[in-house]
Amino acid sequence: MWIEFDRISPIGDWRGDVHAAQISVATLNAQGGKFTIPDVMLKWGEQEEVTEVSALEEWISGL
């Protein structure tokens, strides 16, 4: 039943995530932090893997 409601709801569950992030940011910033809402938002789904390539590795691969 709730799955169908979420499918037709114009707001969706993301609203709860944003609300939780707002509360978290307010609490963290009240203690002197410098956070924004995107910093503390939950990230659902697969994350892109970031591979760091050093200048030395890049130079060697070009040989």
pLDDT at 1 over 80: no
Confidence of residue 35 (pLDDT cuts 50, 70, 90): very high
Residue 35: closest CA among 25, 50, 47, 22: 25
Confidence of residue 25 (pLDDT cuts 50, 70, 90): very high
In this prediction, residue 43 carries a pLDDT of 83
d(CA 1, CA 21): 27
Phi-psi region of 14 (alpha: psi -120 to 50; beta: other; left: phi over 0): alpha
**pTM for the structure as a whole:** 0.56
Among all chains, which residue has been given the structure tokens 């809402």? 37
